[in-house]
Amino acid sequence: MQTVRTYTAEILAELSRTLDTLSESEVADFIQAIIGAGRVFVAGAGRSGFMMKGFAMRLMHLNIDAHVVGESVTPPFTSGDLLIIGSGSGETRSLVAMAEKATKLGGSVALITTTPDSTIGRLAKAVVQIHAQPKQGPSGGAAMTMQPMGSLFEQSLLLFGDAVVLRLMDQQHIAAAEMFARHANLE
């Protein structure tokens, strides 16, 4: 049995290996989709959903009109809006239905996933592949992990989102202090 410290070191090595394989052109298309959108809606199920909520908060801090699908105060999705889905499998049923509806409404879909060749991947106009194991089981290469299920994907999703936020801060000359001024003050 390893110690928690050696496990965390192995997790960090896995994350570094996985995120090192991100495609710059996929990321550029993803960022362009955000910048060009009317409003941005984010969605994900389970642990993937937790990571997407964190990303939505930072988009709001960046002054992007961002919403989390399913909240009681979420406005309707309309033409010109962007739905960003974080889904390792790209096959989670509720998210497939959401992606189909967003497309029907005249908006577009961006997907962050381990599985670009999935139902949501085929609907999406921007797909960022994260080379991590799908939640059902092992795969090879940079996707190799000692962690259970979709953990490597879900951690990568959080770090990917934070890296995109840094890129947007650079591109749009937004300082952390400006973002903090938009943070909730009734906590």
Ligand X SMILES: O=C([C@H](O)CO)[C@H](O)[C@H](O)COP(=O)(O)O
What are the catalytic residues? 154
Amino acid at 184: A
- 129 versus 167: smaller Cβ distance to ligand X: 129
CB of 123 to ligand X, least distance (A): 14
Radius of gyration of the chain from its Cα atoms, rounded to whole angstroms: 16
CB of 58 to ligand X, least distance (A): 19
Backbone dihedral angles phi then psi of residue 182, each to the nearest 5 degrees: -95, 5
Return the bridge partners of 84, or none.
Answer: 42, 110
Q: Name the 3-class secondary structure at 61.
A: helix
Residue 183 CB neighbour total at 10 angstroms: 10
- Using CB under 6 A as the binding rule, whether residue 119 contacts ligand X is answered as no
- 61 versus 89: smaller Cβ distance to ligand X: 89
The region of 44-52, 76-84, 122-130, 167-175 touching ligand X under the rule CB under 6 A is 44-52
- Both tokens of 181, joined, read 């001024």
- Both tokens of 50, joined, read 């937790």
Residue 16: which residues within 8 A CB-CB, separation 6 or more?
Answer: none
- Using CB under 6 A as the binding rule, whether residue 45 contacts ligand X is answered as yes
Question: Among 109, 133, 154, 161, which residue interacts with ligand X (rule: CB under 6 A)?
Answer: 154
136 closest CA partner among 153, 150, 120, 116: 150
CB of 115 to ligand X, least distance (A): 8
Q: By rule CB under 6 A, what count of residues binds ligand X?
A: 14
- Using CB under 6 A as the binding rule, whether residue 135 contacts ligand X is answered as yes
- The answer to whether the beta carbons of residues 102 and 67 sit under 8 Å apart is no
Q: Which residue is nearest to ligand X (CB)?
A: 46
- Using CB under 6 A as the binding rule, whether residue 116 contacts ligand X is answered as no
Amino acid at 169: M
Question: Among 68, 88, 112, 142, which residue interacts with ligand X (rule: CB under 6 A)?
Answer: 88
Where on the chain is the footprint of ligand X (CB under 6 A)? 45-48, 87-89, 92, 95, 135, 149-151, 154
